[in-house]
Amino acid sequence: MHGVGLFQARVDASVNFTTTGEGRVLNASKHLLVMAAGANFERGGAVSVWVRDDVAGTWHHTLVRHGSNAGGIRWVPRDLQVYRDRVTGVDRVFLLLGNPGIISGVYDPREPSRIRWDRHVEFPFLTKGSFFTRPLGIAEANDALHFSEGPSIFRRIDGKRPQWEEILNLAEDTDTDVGGIRGLTAIQNPNGKGQSLLFVWAPGERAQSQVKRLDPDGKGGYTLHDEANLGQLMSRHLGVKVPYTLGGHNMMYPVPHPTTGEPVHIIGFYGSMAGKPELAWKGSRFYGGGLYAVRTAAGKYSVHEVNGPYTADKTLLVSPRAFCRSPFDPKEIFIGGHDSSNKISDNLAWIFRAPLSVAIGTQDGIPAPALPDTTPRMPRVDAGPVYELRIYAAAEDRLGHLIKRFRDHTDRLFRKHKMEPVAYWLPTDGTAKEKRRFVYILKHPSRYAAYQNWNAFTHDPEWKRGVLEKPEFQRLLSERPESVFLSPQDIPGTFPHSTNPSIFELRTTTVANGKLPDLQAHHRQHTTRLQLKHGMSPRGSWFAYDKPESENTMVTLLRHTSRTQADLNWKAIEADPEWNKSHGNLNTKTDRLYLKPMDFSPMR
């Protein structure tokens, strides 16, 4: 992948500044709509922020931070919040970047986006370098800013040179995908002065999502209390055993009780069931409804469901993630969500609107009918077959282990998940590093089927636990795999084995935009015939599937009897008058990769 091809939006929030970056109080506060997104790509990642210009109706982009993704670093922004430093008096917007940590910026009208971000990550850059897991919550309590990461909560010590201190460590290993401490929220301390921190503790894939509360003890320390177990609440609500729950995707959302006016908090969650398969998301054990807990000011919990109890004829929900009181009617609330849980989740995100009294449970609601999926399919995604060229760069001294993994496990699992291996090769030419590449081609029924098949493959328990957990099969690659999808042009239906020695030549040819039909015509009318004439055996030709390469790139595969013979064949064809005459003014550029087949390759 060249550059950044895709950002995933993670944060969308309205922020309010009352000071400049120098601490000068603004005549009028500045309200900004901010969106943050992250991307992880080959050898690195980045976090960007867009700020809306309400007058022009445009968005101004800032690349906040970028860097390496070595060691499992994920650039995944999770939350942002404006906080006034109690020492400097400056309003700062803090953004959780993912594993790299937390960064801040200030209001600056000279910037196009009106936010000037610091050049360096505030924490933990100078102490730990980066976090093991991604921070998942940020909250202001007791005149200090806090955030959570893994099993820990950190508190900011304000000043021109701010520091962060750890005020809680639950001292358990955490799964980086699940996160640890989630949904960090400030509430009124039920046992004294100040504010407590409420959060969900979910350390791993067998988590029960324990809601905990951290109270200030009035002596500079804290006391920790268990409030509720979301897994147990779900089990009692549904009458089924619950092996796993996950809650606190965002803050525990505060709303006033519609009758008493007291603050209550809404906590979205979801979980798996050991039983009642008719209530599960098809193909999983996850409950298909939208569960959330309501916490009263007295610390009592009740479980409710978006759109009432789930049945198979209702809209599939799975996990409320975001809550927002309506800006049009404060007596209504919007709830949105869906959690893919590593499953294919096409067009399953949802938003519901309901009276606040219905959401809190003081009034019955009317179930909404299921809506048909009218989303149009993307063109060509169901057409096939398509081929996928993949190139792996093995780390030093690890190529043998990579080959063993393919021979003993990967090839069989490909076939299990409906991916047809066409060929496996190693390069014959190049430097030692270039010869550590492992090249192969897969055949898929369609582009969409490829997406489905890879999803099933990567989440196969045998692959995740039986293969990837073996030390000999870990850290095999020096960089991310290269993948190119290909649409077939001229390709045989089968690839017969050959008992004779063979070398393959993979050719990637590019032309100027608009010239690809000319290249295809030349290939069909002249190239294939001349290659056969001069001892080459064409084995297939493809166009790149995705833009922009699909407009200028053709990939062809040839077989030669040996590497030496390949050079002789090309000298002969280039000396052929018909070749030079027919080639015309195509102005092509061709990259060649000579390959020897593996002993387990279908094409040899």
Nearest CA to 7 among 61, 52, 53, 54?
A: 61
Whether 297 maps to a domain, the answer reads no
- Secondary structure letter of residue 75 according to DSSP: B
Residues 147, 148, 154, 156, Cα dihedral to 10°: -10
> From CA 519, how far away is CA 522, in angstroms rounded?
5
CA distances from 493 to 166, 523, 526 (A): 63, 19, 22
| pLDDT: which is higher, 379 or 317 | 317
Whether the per-residue pLDDT at 6 is higher than 50: the answer is no
Whether the per-residue pLDDT at 491 is higher than 80: the answer is no
Whether 231 maps to a domain, the answer reads no
Confidence grade of residue 479 (pLDDT, cut at 50, 70, 90): confident
Residues 122-137: what's their mean pLDDT? Answer: 86
Scanning the structure block, which residue is given the tokens 């089924």? 240
Residues 434-469 have pLDDT tens digits of 999 999 999 999 999 999 999 999 989 899 889 998
Q: What is the pLDDT of residue 496?
A: 54
Whether the per-residue pLDDT at 69 is higher than 90: the answer is no
How many C-beta atoms surround the C-beta of residue 9 within 10 A?
Answer: 12
Residues 163, 168, 174, 180, Cα dihedral to 10°: -90
Give the range of the structural domain holding residue 564, as residue numbers without chain letter: 386-597
| 101-107 β-sheet, strand order | 80-84, 91-98, 101-107, 115-117
Whether 378 maps to a domain, the answer reads no
Whether the per-residue pLDDT at 583 is higher than 70: the answer is no
pTM above 0.75, yes or no: yes
First CA to last CA across the chain, in angstroms?
A: 29
Residues 209-220: what's their mean pLDDT? Answer: 95
CA distances from 60 to 14, 54, 66, 103 (A): 15, 11, 18, 19
DSSP string, 317-364: ---EEEEEE-SS-TTEEEEEE---TTS--TT--EEEEEEHHHHHTSS-
> From CA 551, how far away is CA 553, in angstroms rounded?
6
Q: What is the pLDDT of residue 320?
A: 95
125 Cβ partners below 8 Å, 6+ apart?
Answer: 100, 101
Q: What average pLDDT does the chain have?
A: 91
Whether the per-residue pLDDT at 418 is higher than 80: the answer is yes
Residues 133-191 have pLDDT tens digits of 889 999 999 999 999 999 999 999 999 999 999 999 998 877 777 789 999 999 999 99
> Which 3 state secondary structure label does DSSP give 250?
coil
Q: Residue 584 sits in a domain of what CATH number? A: 3.30.70.100
> From CA 335, how far away is CA 253, in angstroms rounded?
11
> Which 3 state secondary structure label does DSSP give 453?
helix
Residues 284-312: what's their mean pLDDT? Answer: 96
Whether 410 maps to a domain, the answer reads yes
Q: What is the pLDDT of residue 1?
A: 27
| C-alpha Rg value of the chain to the nearest Å | 29
CA distances from 274 to 102, 193, 234 (A): 39, 43, 12
Whether the per-residue pLDDT at 128 is higher than 80: the answer is no
Whether the per-residue pLDDT at 285 is higher than 90: the answer is yes
> From CA 443, how far away is CA 448, in angstroms rounded?
12
Buried b (16+ CB within 10 A) or exposed e, 392-418: bbbeeebbebbbebbeebbbebbeebe
Whether 48 maps to a domain, the answer reads no
Scanning the structure block, which residue is given the tokens 């701010």? 162
Confidence grade of residue 96 (pLDDT, cut at 50, 70, 90): very high
Whether 398 maps to a domain, the answer reads yes
| pLDDT: which is higher, 87 or 369 | 87
- Give the residues across from 485 on adjacent strands: 388
| pLDDT: which is higher, 517 or 274 | 274
> From CA 323, how far away is CA 292, in angstroms rounded?
11
CA distances from 11 to 180, 320, 338 (A): 20, 16, 16
Q: Which stretch of 273-282, 307-316, 483-492 has the lowest confidence by average pLDDT?
A: 483-492
Q: What is the pLDDT of residue 492?
A: 57
Whether 146 maps to a domain, the answer reads no
HEC assignment per residue over 151-211: CEEEEEECCCCCEEEEEEECCCCCCCCCCEEEEEEEEECCCCCCEEEEEEEECCCCCCCEE
> Which 3 state secondary structure label does DSSP give 604?
coil
How many C-beta atoms surround the C-beta of residue 263 within 10 A?
Answer: 14
Query: Which residue type does 199 have?
Result: F
Token couple for 36: 């943050």
Q: What is the pLDDT of residue 4?
A: 39
Token couple for 313: 């004829």
DSSP string, 107-143: E-TTSTTSEEE-SS-SBSTTTTSS-SS---EEEEETT
Q: State what percent of residues in the chain have pLDDT above 90.
A: 72
Residues 339-376 have pLDDT tens digits of 888 888 888 999 999 999 999 999 999 999 887 877 78
Whether 573 maps to a domain, the answer reads yes
Confidence grade of residue 328 (pLDDT, cut at 50, 70, 90): very high
For residues 403 and 394, is the Cβ–Cβ distance under 8 A?
A: no
Token couple for 582: 């027919």
Q: What is the pLDDT of residue 5?
A: 44
For residues 591 and 508, is the Cβ–Cβ distance under 8 A?
A: yes
Residues 262-284 have pLDDT tens digits of 999 999 999 999 999 999 999 89
Confidence grade of residue 3 (pLDDT, cut at 50, 70, 90): very low
- Secondary structure letter of residue 376 according to DSSP: P
Whether the per-residue pLDDT at 499 is higher than 90: the answer is no
Residues 277-302: what's their mean pLDDT? Answer: 95
- Give the residues across from 212 on adjacent strands: 199, 226
**What is the domain count for the chain?**
1
CA distances from 7 to 69, 77, 519, 521 (A): 15, 11, 34, 38
DSSP string, 405-442: HIIIIIHHHHHHTT-EEEEEEEESSS-TTGGGEEEEEE
